[in-house]
Amino acid sequence: MKFAHMADVHLGFEQYRLPYRAEEFAQAFREAVENAVAEGVDFILIAGDLFHSSRPSPETIKTAIEVLEKPREAGIPVFAIEGNHDRTQRKVSAYHLLEGLGLLHLIGLRDEKIENEYLTSERLGGKYLVRGVFERGGETIEIHGLKYMSAAWLERNRLAEIFRPEGDAILMLHQGIKELIEKMMGIIPESQRDYFELRMEDLPRGYVYYALGHIHREFVTSYDIGTLVYPGSLQRWDFGDYELRYRWNGRSFTPEAGTRKGFYIVEDWKPRFIELKVRPFIDVKLKADEETAKRELKRLRDKIPREAFVRLDLRWERPYDVSHFQEILEVKYLYLRTRFERKLKATNGGEVPRPAEYFTPAELRAIELTGEKKFDALDTVVELFLGEWEEKPKEHTGEKREESAPTKEEQPQGKEKKPEKAQKTKRPRPKGKPTSILAWIGGGDED
């Protein structure tokens, strides 16, 4: 028995709002399916997120139809489940459309009973559990599965009570498993519970192969009597999913290999990775002054393909002009992430002041807003400083002030006095003018 296992195709994904990236995601799917057909597989598994959205565009559906027509013409059935991106709470999804055209077979919990050459059903409460069936040469394989389910649903409905394999069987799921994610990415605190839905102990036992999706990195391990596989996404999902990372150590860039992209061909239950050539994502981390950054990036440029997407993570103690780095690297797409942090020095042997002691509440809020990944709150930041510099009355602002004006009961009785200036506590500030957060962002000292 020989089959292909792929997942996280994400058809229709215009990554970084670039329409041509949607075509590149489609091309990766096209190549994967063509390779599977050329390998002469018996069937194909798509373990969720065929589409990037539960409501794909007509163009995206057209692409899916054109690609899935190839295995149908070759007599190769395709079994699929819905993922977290493309599952729907409606009765009919894009998967049902493809199934109606004879292009794939949707397995999992369904409202209707299905019985045909490749699907069979059993009653489970008020629904039907639809399983895939493949027979060839006297050998029968059952394909069990379920669309993406939330952690809350999985806590109420134990998978081991739903799935009980008999004979050789495959379990197809689109879920994150805590222990496996931690092996790939590090320890996950309980505060980030939404990063996974299952633990290893929740997986039903007795399957020969666990065909998983949802995690975009390829990963293979063993579980019970079988092999558990995440094939990863067909295209690179973000810069954490890099092909290569260059990290500056103060003297030179150290390269670090990232992940492969592709899918698995499984023959006699042994998975073999088929790598696809996709657009390279390069992650560059550099902590240096402007002169060093320019010099070293020019040296690194020859190692970076021109078609690459590059994230430049740049840090230093003082701000400087970064507009010329696109011209230096000459790559297809550059995402520039900067962090300029001045090092505060303790005075008179004391402790370095905390931010709350150094900045006003408005300045602290501005730091928080401008430090967000997608900064689009410029008007809010301007209003914060206008409120500080012009001493706006409270009723004229839409923002809730950190310190409210004294109430009538708190006002001294008798003669009306001019508002007193708030007493300023001594705290370290950058030299020069102005003495606000803008000076901090702009470099502070003029010496």
Residues marked active site are found at 85
Cα 40 to Cα 37, 65, 265, 275, 300: the distances in Å are 5, 20, 10, 17, 43
**240 CB-near residues (< 8 Å, 6+ apart):** 283
First to last CA, the chain: 74
- Beta-sheet pairing, 262-267 with 244-248: unpaired
Q: Are 431 and 445 in contact, with CB atoms under 8 Å apart? A: yes
Q: Find the radius of gyration of the CA atoms of the chain.
A: 29
DSSP 199-237: -GGGSPS--SEEEEES-SS-EEEEETTEEEEE---SS--
CA-CA distance, 155 to 151, in Å (whole number)?
Answer: 6
Phi-psi region of 102 (alpha: psi -120 to 50; beta: other; left: phi over 0): left
The phi, psi pair for 364, rounded to 5°, reads -60, -40
Packing angle, helices 58-73 and 19-38, rounded to 10: 10
CA-CA distance, 437 to 439, in Å (whole number)?
Answer: 5
Burial class (CB in 10 A: 0-12, 13-18, 19+), 65: middle
